[in-house]
Amino acid sequence: MRVNRLFFVLLPFFLFVLLLSERAKAQKEVLPVVLEIPEIVAEVNGDKITKTDLAAECLRLHGMEELKDLVKKFLIQFECSRRNITITQQEINNEVERMAKAFKFSTQEWLDLLEKERGMTPEMYMEDIIRPILAIGKLAGSKMNITEEEIQREMNARYGAAVQVRQIVLGSRKDAEKIWSDLKTNPESFPSVAKNWSLDPASQPYGGLIHPIRRGTVNSEVEKIVFDLKAGEISPIVEWPAGQFLIFRCEQHLQPQNIDKEKVREQLITKIRDMKTRSTAEDVFHELQSRAQIEVVFGNPARMAQVPGVAAIVNGQNISQKYLSDVCLKRYGKNVLNDMISKLVVEQACRKQNIVITDADIDREIREMAIKYLPLRQDGSPNIERWMKMKTEESRMSSEVYRTNTVWPVLALKRLSRSLVQVTEEDIQRGFESNFGKKVRCLAIVFDLKDQRRAQEVWEMANRNRTSENFAQLAEKYSMDPKSRTSRGVIPPISRYSGQPTLENEAFGLLPNELSQIIQVDESWVILYCLGYDEPTITDINEVKTDLVADIFEKKQNIAVAKYYENLFNRAAIDNYLTGESRNPEIEKAIRKAETTQQTTEIK
């Protein structure tokens, strides 16, 4: 049974990978970062979080990754000093202005956007991103030169001729050969086969439809195969390095977009420079590391005992653990403190209800997640190792941090909110209709709510030529939703009880090849074109009732967990001395009550 699953992430934190700046000349001891942080950084319902607690948590979460960057920073500083390379503030300002212009912003708008969207202050951006880019460019010399050929190649990758294809991803050659044989006999079944058998979660709901493939954007073997296909043709089986097997069907060849290269030249150059900086930076670092003596002390308990207070030694010079801790505090302190406050709120609730989460409980939770979201091993056991590797790599955290900062809070909140979760017969019936009932296959064009005039114009163009191909072309040109635009309007089949009643009612009221009215869905205008209906695949609810109950319970539990945490947090008295934010619901309630009483008395 395939059902949608909701993931609840309690304590998100922003992990930022950066290139580091070249500023000062190498010194015997790296100078400390000057920080103005109080000894008590927060209070939560009377419990205090100290600066020492925060520093230790910042170091635990980010110390190792930050140390790698500090070593790179030290190597760049040393090499720039050795070669008398300097980066002036004017050079930095010019590069910031160039970057902003490439994305059609003023310099101030660009800096404001970075701070708002990525939490990166102008100082951090200039010193941690722009300065090292310029330093590495000077160290790399001619390797950073950009040719017209590279610009044209990037132009082709972004705006050139493309092939619209569908794909099916399979886990074994045996399965691939069986399905490929069936598809050669019945190529029109490709979308339904992709929906039922493909292992790719991104394209499966769209019948295998993926973003159009342009030259230079994919593996060269895949590129050659898809560009050689004619519309409707099925590709040979392509073996992918990850042990997967791919089959493609060509939908159509798309002509290059009519874009003036000169108008997007700066964006193309910025993209190429970013790619070159990443690749060249690694070459520069490898060369510098090959000539350097580097010893990482942090994370090695035996060596830390021998040289206390030292995080690393580079060319005989120390990077102190205090400096590393201060850098982590400066860069991540506010975000980490927010996470610590959130976790402490949950810990307090658990203490109050005598709930204890053991290591064995965490092990069981991880095991259950591996069973739910990964294929079982050949012997039928859950692939826990693969799950842990996948989660730690994608979040760039250690297994210990993943257990304590992700699994523990979610498990604790599940225990706290358990009594709030009930699955009713009505829930089961709705779940059955949503997952296995009749579905409407539609194309969709999505517009911003303030763009009602454009929506009306496109609706009239669709109405004048009511064909699926015309509608698909309009979707590709006008839809503001990236998925519906790149898929030429294709969206997953619409079912009952999907959470969008307006959309559902409109879709289920359409006949095949009929155009909907313009409807408002959340903050968007939507036009639908009905392709037809998929009839129910299962009619007896008892066949899938057990799975339905489990799935509905999980979804309702996720909602209950989120609401429970929100209520906990809203009731908590919190003073955050780093941000200056303070809230005490009980005092605020008392003040409001006193003000109401005073106003009533004055009226009398």
Whether the predicted pLDDT of 16 surpasses 50: no
Please tell me what DSSP assigns to residue 291.
T
pLDDT digits over 497-539, tens only? 888 899 999 999 999 999 999 999 988 999 999 999 998 878 8
- For residue 481, what pLDDT is reported? 87
User: What does the alpha-carbon distance between residue 130 and residue 124 come to, in Å, rounded to a whole number?
Assistant: 9
Tell me whether residue 584 is in a domain: no
Pick 25 or 365 by higher pLDDT: 365
Identify whether residues 229 and 303 lie together within a single domain: no
Q: Please, what's the largest Cα pairwise distance for the chain? A: 88
User: Does 274 lie in the same domain as 135?
Assistant: yes
Domain presence at residue 371: yes
Residue 348 above 90 pLDDT? yes
Assign residue 107 the CATH number of its domain. Answer: 1.10.4030
Are 227 and 242 in contact by the 8 Å Cβ rule? The answer is: no
Q: What share of the chain is helix, strand, coil (3-state, %, to 5)?
A: 55, 15, 30
Q: Judge residue 129's burial from the number of C-beta atoms within 10 Å of its C-beta, 0-12 exposed, 13-18 middle, 19 or more buried.
A: buried
- Are the beta carbons of 439 and 408 closer than 8 angstroms? no
pLDDT confidence tier of residue 51, bands split at 50, 70 and 90: very high
Helices (H) and strands (E) in the chain, counts: 23, 14
Task: Look at residues 348, 344, 393, 391 and name the one whose alpha carbon lies nearest to residue 366.
Answer: 391
Q: Does 543 fall in a domain? A: no
Same domain assignment for residues 214 and 360: no
Q: What angle do CA 217, 280, 139 make, to 5 degrees?
A: 150
Residue type, 366: I
For residue 100, tell me if it sits in a domain: yes
206-224 b/e (C-beta count within 10 Å ≥ 16 → b) = bbbbbbbbbbeeeeeebbe
- Residue 595: inside a domain: no
DSSP 292: S
* pLDDT tens digits, one per residue of 68-117: 988 888 888 888 888 898 889 999 999 899 888 877 889 999 999 888 87
> If you search the block for the tokens 């290269």, which residue do you land on?
261
Tell me if 246 is assigned to some domain.
yes
Residue 123 near residue 33 (C-beta atoms within 8 A): no
* CA gap 44, 337 in Å, rounded: 11
Mean pLDDT of the region 482-498: 87
In which residue are the tokens 């941090």 written? 401
Residue 28 pLDDT: 33
pLDDT exceeds 90 at position 395: no
- State yes or no: pLDDT of 43 exceeds 90: yes
The number of domains in the chain is 4
Q: Is the pLDDT of residue 485 over 70?
A: yes
Can you tell me the distance from the alpha carbon of 62 to that of 81, in angstroms, rounded to the nearest whole number?
Answer: 28
CATH number at residue 208: 3.10.50.40
- Phi, psi values for residue 30, rounded to 5°: -60, 130
Which one of 474, 508, 534 terminates a domain?
Answer: 534
Label residue 155 left, alpha or beta by phi (over 0 means left) and psi (-120 to 50 means alpha).
Answer: alpha
Dihedral sign (CA 88, 89, 93, 99): positive
- pLDDT (average), residues 536-559: 89
Say whether both 284 and 231 belong to one domain.
Answer: no
Say whether both 86 and 124 belong to one domain. Answer: yes
pLDDT at 361: 95
Please answer whether residues 197 and 166 qualify as being in contact, where contact means their C-beta atoms are separated by less than 8 angstroms: no
Picking from 386, 420, 454, the residue at the C-terminal end of a domain is 420
pLDDT in tens, 238-250: 988 767 899 999 9
Residue 594, exposed/middle/buried by CB under 10 A (0-12, 13-18, 19+)? exposed
Residue 35 lies inside a defined structural domain of this protein: no
pLDDT at 580 over 80: yes
In-domain check, residue 204 = yes
Give the domain extent around 211.
161-254
Range 212-235 average pLDDT: 89
pLDDT digits (tens, 9 = 90+) for 184-212: 889 899 998 998 899 888 888 888 998 88
Mean pLDDT along residues 405-424: 92
What are the C-alpha distances in Å from 57 to residues 6, 16, 50, 67, 413?
A: 29, 16, 11, 15, 22
pLDDT at 18 over 50: no
Quote the pTM value: 0.63
- What are the residues whose beta carbons fall under 8 Å from the beta carbon of 1, sequence distance 6 or more? 435, 544, 547, 551
Q: Which residue has the higher pLDDT, 284 or 496?
A: 496
- The region, left, alpha or beta by phi > 0 then psi within -120 to 50, assigned to residue 234 is beta
SS3 525: strand
Residue pair 539/437 in contact (Cβ under 8 Å)? The answer is no
